[in-house]
Amino acid sequence: MMFVIAAVFAGAQQVPPFPDKTKPDPVRLPNGKLQTDEIVKSEHKQSLKDAEELKKLIGEFCDELEKADEFVVSVQTIRKLEEIEKRAKKIRNRMTRN
């Protein structure tokens, strides 16, 4: 009887475990590259473009602010500030999402 229990127990240990299905396989593009890697590269390029535009807008804002009177700022200057804020938020969102 002891032999039967040992044989059943030994047989139960030889059964391979079920594959882990909690993590899906990464999606690959037709060229073989990982989709997530390509998305990250694309977002990095877009962030670089936005950063260049951000530098340009900040330079324009500084020039307009120097030309302005002490207490008067044009609506165009305020719009530039809003555009600067919008670009900075886009960059931050891309970077924190990854």
Q: Compute the mean pLDDT over every residue in the chain, rounded to the nearest whole number.
A: 82
Rounded Cα–Cα distance for residues 85 and 81 (Å): 6
**Helix 75-97 vs helix 35-67: crossing angle, to nearest 10:** 160
Rounded Cα–Cα distance for residues 82 and 88 (Å): 10
pLDDT digits (tens, 9 = 90+) for 47-70: 999 999 999 999 999 998 888 877
Q: Give the Cα-Cα-Cα angle 2, 9, 12 (nearest 5 degrees).
A: 160
Per-residue pLDDT of the chain (98 residues; tens, 9 = 90+): 554 455 555 555 555 666 666 777 788 878 888 888 888 999 999 999 999 999 999 999 999 888 887 778 888 989 999 999 999 999 999 888 75
Place of tokens 């990250």: 40
- Per domain, the residue ranges of the chain are 41-98
